[in-house]
Amino acid sequence: MKAYLVFGIAAVVFIVVVFIKGAWDEKKKKKDFIRKLYEEYGSVPQRKYGPEQYASIARFFERHASDEQIDDITWNDLSFDDIFKRINCTYSSAGEEYLYYRLRTPVDSPEELKHFDEICNYFGQNPDVRVKVQYTLARLGRTGKFSLYDYLDHLDVLGKRSNLKHHIVNGLFIPAVACLFVEPSLGVLFFILLSIYNMISYFKEKSEIDSYITSFAYVMRLLGAADELGMMKIDACEKEISKIKFHKQKLGRFRRGSYWLMSSGRMSGSGNLLDIFMDYLRMLLHIDLIKFNSMLAQIRLTVEDVNVLAETIGYLECAIVAGSFRESLKDRWCRPVFTQGGIFRAENLYHPLIEDPVRNSISTDKGVLITGSNASGKSTFLKTVAVGAILAQTIYTCPADVYEGDFYHICSSMALRDDLTGGESYYIVEIKSIKRILDFAEVSKHKVLCFVDEVLRGTNTVERIAASSQILRKLTGENVLCFAATHDIELTSLLENEYNNYHFEEDMEDGDIHFNYLLKPGKATSRNAIRLLQIIGYDQEIIEQANRQAVGFLETGLWKMGEVRK
């Protein structure tokens, strides 16, 4: 007896110690994480993305698509996935999906951009409030490899689900239990058979809804985050907090009794003895399946309220992230100025992904045609202007000292390639890409700001110059501002009345080529393609003959092959 007592006391002490240690570890973990939130603000995100993690980020954007958004060609031309990763330091799926949507959805309302700016400033100036919000959003967390919208937009797949069969089988447990007192052996057999049937049918049906239970768990965490945010006093976010409270209340019936479907242990991924016991009870009586069907009916009625909650909470985290991005740029950013005067102006503009970037300035009231040697910086400059314009109209932040322009519909045709699966050549892909820009200019409610790199590079010289000069002329209408880069120096003369000419140039030092990447007015006067062949180590005869041919063409306008040495 004494040994049992000692063992019991030891067991109790062990359980208490484990509990205290767990609580201590949890407290320390929270403290360390909060310190990390303070320290990380304004730093460059270091998160690594797996293919599955990144696959679902675009779902909110896809659900809220519109004609004025940044299309796939432009997004890929500008490598905006990398820009997104450079900015993204969110902790919730709601936040990162909204950030992705925001970067692809230029805003045309000065009032909305200024309100967004106010929230960014507020969180930047009130770190304690910001960290409190971030901690709440970190507890909301991510949905994993699938987006919440992968489920919310496909609820009809589950069809109508009735609880009648569950209630009938559960009702049979009453006579089974009663039979235990009248005919125990028969009662036990009856009870066991019912239990086996319920458990087999439980796992079959649960496998069909498991992924939806995961999404419901995220909705519950969303409501939990809404509870916490609703109790905070955030002066700059009164409109957003009111919206969160309103739509949270409309999900009250969905939330009621949700413990039977997902306990706090299930929702957090942890578990305890009570959760284990509850799991067996769910298997036996299908309590969670019954509750799931009830919650499914409710979510179908309130799916738009869930959407607004996710959007609004995501909006708040997006503002925090934008503020952190600004801080990471130090003082090398500005708030854009939007005008309707037709002037595009940027001073000391640079690309946020380039370390130690060269900063360039430009002011123009008409199209810009850029010439220059290979690798001189033409394409990078086009991308820099495009990225700056998009960031200005989405997160009210531009990596420049000054940015001034209209509200634009921004599109590009730059980093194209053959479509092997579709059986289309580079030239076909290119002319379709440029045609879409011309179509945008016809229908867009905003002025089109477009970027074209090497117009019609996929065809012969004569037709390229003829067609590209007419296309570029078409892109100078009242509703278009075009930035184009070309190697065809002939275009600078053909289009000198429609476009302002700028160029990049290189310096020759010690037999090597050096680029300063500085934008200069006027057209390019130097070439380096043949010189690069020499630097790489091509045969000297090739170099000499090529130079001779080039000089001859410039003097006579005719191409002639030189003599081949034997």
- One pLDDT digit (tens) per residue for the chain, 566 residues: 566 676 667 777 777 777 676 667 677 788 888 999 999 999 999 888 877 778 789 999 999 998 889 999 999 999 999 999 999 999 999 999 999 999 999 999 999 999 999 999 999 999 999 999 999 999 999 888 888 888 887 776 677 777 777 777 777 777 777 777 778 778 778 778 888 888 888 888 888 788 788 888 889 999 999 999 999 999 999 999 999 999 999 998 888 766 666 655 555 545 556 667 777 777 777 778 888 888 888 888 899 999 999 999 999 999 999 999 999 999 899 999 999 878 999 999 999 999 999 999 999 999 999 998 878 899 999 999 999 999 999 999 999 999 999 999 999 999 766 554 555 777 888 889 999 999 998 888 899 999 999 888 767 888 888 999 999 999 998 889 999 999 888 899 999 999 999 999 887 776 677 888 999 999 987 777 787 788 778 888 888 888 888 888 777 877 777 665 55
Let me know if 108 is exposed, middle or buried by CB neighbors in 10 A (0-12, 13-18, 19+): middle
Contacts of 426 (CB under 8 A, 6+ apart): 416, 417, 418, 457, 458
- Could you tell me which of 335, 395, 386, 396 has the C-alpha nearest to residue 362? 386
Domain architecture of the chain: domains with CATH: 337-527 (3.40.50.300)
Question: How far apart are alpha carbons 221 and 142 in whole angstroms?
Answer: 10
Query: Quick check: helix, strand or coil at residue 504?
Result: strand
Backbone phi, psi, residue 345, to 5°: -140, 130
Neighbours of 83 (CB within 10 A): 20
C-beta of residue 135 within 8 angstroms of C-beta of residue 426: no
Judged on CB neighbours under 10 Å (0-12, 13-18, 19+), 218 is buried
Look up tokens 């000499």; give the residue: 544
* Beta strands 480-485; 447-453: pairing state: parallel
Which pLDDT score is estimated for 417?
Answer: 66
List the alpha helices (DSSP H) in 142-286: 148-152, 164-182, 184-230, 238-249, 252-255, 264-268, 273-285
Whole-number pLDDT of residue 290: 81
pTM assigned to the model = 0.86
Q: For residues 190 and 537, give the distance between their C-alpha atoms in angstroms, rounded to a whole number.
A: 89
Count Cβ atoms below 10 Å from residue 269 Cβ, excluding itself: 8
How far is residue 491's CA from residue 370's CA, in Å, rounded to a whole number?
10
State the DSSP code for 398: B
* CB contact at 8 A, 79 and 38: no
What is the distance between the alpha carbons of residues 466 and 155, in angstroms, rounded to a whole number? 54
What does the pLDDT read at residue 563?
Answer: 63
- Residue 269 backbone zone (phi > 0: left; psi -120 to 50: alpha; other: beta): left
Predicted local confidence at residue 229, as pLDDT: 96
What pLDDT is attached to residue 240? Answer: 97
Q: Are 447 and 409 in contact (CB under 8 A)?
A: yes
Report the alpha-carbon angle 165-171-175, nearest 5.
140
Helix axes 273-285, 287-328, angle to 10 degrees: 130
